[in-house]
Structure 1
Amino acid sequence: MTWEKEIRAFGYYLKIERSLQDNSILAYRQDVEKVAAYLEKNFPDIAPEQVQLYHLRQFVNDLAGLNISEFSQARIISGIKAFFKYLMYEDKILDNPALLLEAPKLTRTLPDTLSYIEIEKLLEAIPMGEPEGHRNRAMLEMLYSSGLRVSELTHLKTSHYYQDIGFLRVTGKGNKERLVPVGKSAAKYLRLYLEEVRVHQNIAKGHEEYIFLNRRGKKLSRVMVFLIIKKLVKEAGIQKNVSPHTFRHSFATHLVEGGADLRAVQEMLGHESITTTEIYTHLDRDYLRQVLNEFLPGNKN
């Protein structure tokens, strides 16, 4: 049993059995490749079936000494656990050495969110006189009003949009599908883009169904979405670290602050567990505490 062979087989397992997307599979493989390189260097000729818990703990201890965030450490350990769980599942090992491997405890925090005023400033910074302006406006409206992940946005197809009822059929993590409502403003700008811009494009073969296209008529990439947003943030003069995911967090935060039912927010975000969605209630409590201290007489400094 060699590391290279088993890591490759692990990748096939994640794709076929777990139905993970290519980005997730690559991340898992890279995590296992890190521990494989460490073990081959420090414990020469050790094969995957020979690994013990103390080998993995030494790797984790060395990992903690590097300038790597706790989140990254936890993700790598999660990848290692998934790999050895796979080996057990395939009956390639008798005992799982990663079963008792501990990850650092994480403090659950959210990245920057945008206020509604900041969302409006970003939207107003889009030059609507250009063909890309209509696309970018529709794109950002969709990110915010439907809480989409960037990969969900770029993979949207025309057949996924039910314009008559105002819903999207979104394929999320693990190829799980969900129906997400589209806000009125997003629906308006999406219709303008589809009917006045996209319909006139020369679309590349194989990309006919994708909604958001680049100048060459091909599906818009994740990287391009990041670059478009970074440029708009700069032009709008917003001093925050904004990414496509910021719109998703802002969408959820604004819903919770407005009193939306947590189960409904969970459904729209596509969270498997409501505990993931509950982080927004913590954010809401912090906001309420801030309001109390700022505006209630006797609490002001």
Structure 2
Amino acid sequence: METYDFKNEIIDKNGNKINILDVYNFNKIKESYITSLKNNNYSQNTIKTYSSIIHKFTTYLKNQIAIYNEKEFIKYFNSYILYLKQVKNVSQNYIYLVTVVVKKFLEFNNIHFLDSITTPKRIKSPPNFLTQKEVKQLLDSITWDENSDSDFRIITKLRDKLIVTLLYSSGLRVSELINLSVDNVNFEGKQLSIVGKNNSRVILLDESTKQLIQKYLEKRTQKSNYLVVNKSGNPLTPRYVQLMIKKYGNESGIEKKITPHILRHSYATHLFEQGVNIKIIQQLLGHSNLSTTQIYSQDANN
């Protein structure tokens, strides 16, 4: 793709001003950027969010008559941010995310119109977490009767308890959980191999979790290499896992909002409470930056 310096207006050979929107095919370069995210193992949720942000912004640009230089591009970006604030009433953190995503998208395509734009501050708050007592309360709410319940109900409850156990005791992301294969489990070594969005890591399994995995695999009838599956033997969706955990959270009587990520937060916070070194926790969580891990220490210290 031919590059142009749009710091000032550019006149073509016919004496007409060149429109930035005629030079850059945003739909095409968006596809290229999204492909790069997939190749770099970004989670499905992240890719979906980035794609939506880029689509909404480029659609806003296309509704403008013409953009002839970098200064006008910045003007329209700022008007878009103002529109999000005043009309859409979005949060400060969403404004931060839009700015970061749009700048990364443009930079990936060697478009530097927004280099002078300062990224707004993000409002950081410590994540909510469950106490160890509440985690036990949540797990205890997932029950079945081996003598009277149907095989389908027993297998489903076994699977659900395994999901909650793994999300908490291994600090998994939902995307990592639903992509786990049976081959990721080393029963003899009591280890779980995880392929994360930033790196791969190995988590130690306690005896009770290992036995729960074995019991579920022995009882389920679906033939699949995925570790946790639906009744058809297909991998679960992130949305299904979220709704399932919300259901058990309501049934447990815990008044806090419970999500898969809250279980991950709880895992990290409890490790801090036990005095585990922050760099070890960083490795266990699969964080690429230590600063991401440090937010959990705020809960442990309060």
Question: Which TM bucket (shorter chain)?
Answer: 0.7 to 0.9
Alignment of 1:19-168 (within 5 A): 19-41=41-63, 43-46=64-67, 52-65=73-86, 66-88=88-110, 93=111, 96-129=112-145, 130-168=154-192
1:213–1:47 CA distance, 2 compared to 1 (3 A): farther
1:48–1:171 CA distance, 2 compared to 1 (3 A): farther
Deviation per residue, 1:198-232 (Å, 9 max, x gap): 2xx133xxxx2100011122212212211211111
Residue of structure 1 equivalent to 2:4: none
Q: Secondary structure at the match of 2:211?
A: helix
Q: Letter of the aligned partner of 2:109 in structure 1?
A: L
Please report how far the alpha carbon of residue 99 of structure 1 lies from its aligned counterpart in structure 2 after TM superposition.
1.6
Q: 1:11 aligns with which of 34, 37, 42?
A: 34
Contact kept? 1:57, 1:101, Cα under 8 Å: no
Unaligned runs of 5+ in 1: 288-301
Is residue 250 of structure 1 aligned with residue 266 of structure 2? yes
Contact kept? 1:51, 1:97, Cα under 8 Å: no
Contact kept? 1:113, 1:246, Cα under 8 Å: yes
Q: Which has the larger radius of gyration?
A: 2
Please report how far the alpha carbon of residue 40 of structure 1 lies from its aligned counterpart in structure 2 after TM superposition.
2.2
Number of equivalent positions? 270
Contact kept? 1:148, 1:248, Cα under 8 Å: yes
Alignment of 1:181-192 (within 5 A): 181-192=204-215
2:287 and 2:222 map into 1 onto residues whose CA distance is 37
Is residue 2 of structure 1 aligned with residue 25 of structure 2? yes
1:184 and 1:247 map into 2 onto residues whose CA distance is 20
Unaligned runs of 5+ in 2: 1-23, 146-153
1:127 and 1:213 map into 2 onto residues whose CA distance is 19
Q: 1:194 aligns with which of 217, 220, 235?
A: 217
Contact kept? 1:138, 1:186, Cα under 8 Å: yes
1:159–1:224 CA distance, 2 compared to 1 (3 A): same
2:156 and 2:228 map into 1 onto residues whose CA distance is 10
1:52 and 1:143 map into 2 onto residues whose CA distance is 44
The TM-score with structure 1 as length reference comes to 0.83
Q: Secondary structure at the match of 1:52?
A: helix
Q: Letter of the aligned partner of 2:77 in structure 1?
A: L
Contact kept? 1:154, 1:221, Cα under 8 Å: yes
Please report how far the alpha carbon of residue 76 of structure 1 lies from its aligned counterpart in structure 2 after TM superposition.
1.5
Deviation per residue, 1:226-273 (Å, 9 max, x gap): 121111111111111110111100000011011111111000000101
Identity of matched residues, %: 29
Contact kept? 2:127, 2:299, Cα under 8 Å: no
Residue of structure 1 equivalent to 2:16: none
Q: Letter of the aligned partner of 2:119 in structure 1?
A: A
Contact kept? 1:3, 1:47, Cα under 8 Å: no
Q: Secondary structure at the match of 2:109?
A: helix
Q: Secondary structure at the match of 2:192?
A: strand
Deviation per residue, 1:110-162 (Å, 9 max, x gap): 33211111111111111233221111111111111100011111110011111
The TM-score with structure 2 as length reference comes to 0.83
